[in-house]
Chains A and B, each alone.
Chain A
Amino acid sequence: MKFGVIRFPGTCDDVDAQLAAQRVGDAELLWHRDRDLKGVDAVIVPGGFSYGDYLRAGAIARFAPVMEEVIEFAHAGGLVLGICNGFQILCEAGLLPGALLINDHLKFVFRQVNLEVVDPNTPFTRECPPTLSIPVKHTTGRYYTPTPVQVVLRYAPGNNPNGSQDDIAGVVNNAGNVFGLMPHPEHAVDLLTGSEDGLRIFESIRTAVGERVKVTV
């Protein structure tokens, strides 16, 4: 399978996301001004500071030409994973419910957190064990939603790093094909750096894409 990793001006986790995806399949970088997803099977909107996070995190990236294609891809049922700034962008684009606000303690946070996989039946979590150890690194990660959402990941008790509502770390849309999370699975793909739990998310996507191909054949 082939992942597409979006690169905006100011993105900084695109290469890590590409390398992580390449552990389970092919992965290609997609430029923000292109209107071509190059036939990828799943899209990753990676972390960083797209367009300098000007105005609000994700507010301007949401209108990039490539995002029009991503929105169309998502509406057609394509799998989209948004990590950190990517999560913020997907919320701004209306592909995911809610919004990300500045951390309750106002500081940048960078630490390993324990996560509970609340929903192991999504295309993004079916290869996941009940808990994951994955790092977070952000200033604007406090999830807020005024309406009920489909929670996929929660920070384990005592691990909420930002004041997120109900300890929410990751959510999917109603259709279950768009997933956003603040922790960085692409930074947890090798025991050398503490954990390879993040790989389980990439493997889950590969499994889900494989099943879809079988269904359509």
Chain B
Amino acid sequence: MRVRVLIRPKAGILDPQGQAVERALPALGFSGVENVHVGRLVELDVDDTAQLPSMCERLLTNPLIEDYEIVNV
């Protein structure tokens, strides 16, 4: 099965990449944008989706600093 793992910085942890993007948008004339966060996307084909939470917690993310969401494609 094809799945997509969305990885985000945990709420409350300073996200300077998100801040930099948020500050850059008004420079291009885009207004009314806030709470920008930058994360990572991992796509994979996996036979046994029951393994996914363990994969995410042991390798794909660092649970101390990141949250993840598994999305079926």
Contact = CB atoms under 8 A, between A and B. Distances in A.
A182 interface: no
A56 interface: yes
B13 A144 contact: yes
A163 B20 CA distance: 15
Give the interface size bracket for A toward B: 10 to 19
B60 A55 contact: yes
B14 interface: yes
Nearest to A101: B65
B54 to A, nearest CB: 14
A146 B65 CA distance: 9
Interface in B33-73: 59-60, 62, 64-65
Interface string A82-122: 00000000001000001101111110000000000000000
B26 interface: no
B65 A106 contact: no
Nearest to A60: B59
B59 A99 contact: no
Contact of B59 (A59, A104, A142, A163): A59
A64 to B, nearest CB: 13
Contacts of B17: 102, 106
B44 to A, nearest CB: 12
Given A144-B13, A163-B14, A106 B62 contact: no
Contacts of A59: 59, 62
Nearest to B63: A99
Nearest to A56: B62
A144 B16 contact: no
A56 B63 CA distance: 12
Interface of A: 55-56, 59-60, 63, 92, 98-99, 101-106, 142, 144, 146, 163
